[in-house]
A and B are shown apart, each in its own frame.
Chain A
Amino acid sequence: MLQQLFFGYYAFIIIGLSLLVVTRKNPGHSVMWMLLLFFHIAGLYLFLNAEFIAAIQVIVYAGAILVLFLFVVLLLNLREEIALRQTVGSWPVAFFMCAILFVAVTAALGAYVQGPVGGYSIDVIQNETHAKALGKLLYTEYLFPFEIASLILLVAVVGAVVLAKRKLRS
């Protein structure tokens, strides 16, 4: 009962905050609501026994990505933008389409059949700790994707510098 109550609180707050994020006029306010949203999603991850993912969510999303967003919002002078019309004229069509897709996805959930469970039960993760279990898997079985991820980050660093630079010296 308590678990359902907890989940209900998180689900309610997450949906309300995501609605706030997409409807606010001022992007600065949206970023602040999104910060709160990411903390709630991290709480949901803790609820699912994924403490390392929750920590990454707070550190990378709330700590790094949102600060980057906040910097850009503060750097750009959006005062005249906010006075303009914020949405496309045909937003009811988009709302209708999203609602239909949501109904279709939730209707399809009824057909879900759970497959065989893997070897990482809660007891195993508790004995080994989540970060250790994740690290073992990441550095053995998923080493190649891990290296590709590091390459993606390198490309992002170089690309961001090249793009944001005022003029390339030739």
Chain B
Amino acid sequence: MVPLHWYLTLSAAVFMIGMFGFLTRRNIIIMFMSLELMLNAVNISLVSFSHYLQDMRGHILVFFVITVAAAEAAIGLAIIITLFRNKQTAHVDEMNEMKG
């Protein structure tokens, strides 16, 4: 039997890798993928909690997280396409219109 904290450690590791990618990469598409990575890390911990507590609520939450991730990916990628059409770049350092 694999103990629960192995899963939680794996989840924390994947989350931190995703956060590191989000903080350091400057390509907006890869930043977006890091976001998906973080959502997946949370899903791993929810499913493992659900399994060890013998409850279905974690699975329901994962279901909703995946729904929101799909919606977020559609909107975010549409924004990226619009940005690229206006600026010809996916580099976030070039996008500073709202700096005031």
Contacts and interface: CB of A to CB of B under 8 A. Distances in A.
B54 A109 contact: no
Interface string A55-71: 01100110011001101
Interface of A is mostly: helix
B95 interface: no
Given A14-B10, A34-B36, A87 B25 contact: yes
Given A11-B10, A50-B59, A138-B63, A76 B81 contact: yes
Interface of B is mostly: helix
A28 to B, nearest CB: 9
Interface string B66-100: 11111111110111111011000111000000000
A22 B18 CA distance: 7
B20 A52 contact: no
Given A7-B6, A76-B90, A142-B60, A50 B47 contact: yes
Interface residues of B, number: 69
A168 B51 CA distance: 48
A71 B1 CA distance: 41
Contacts of A45: 47
A134 B12 contact: no
A91 B59 contact: no
Interface of A: 3-4, 7, 11, 14-15, 18-19, 21-24, 27, 30-31, 34, 37-38, 41, 44-45, 48-50, 52-53, 56-57, 60-61, 64-65, 68-69, 71-73, 75-76, 78, 81, 84-88, 91, 94-95, 97-99, 101-102, 105-106, 109-110, 112, 114-115, 117-122, 130, 133-134, 137-138, 142, 145, 149, 152-153, 155-157, 159-161, 163-164, 166
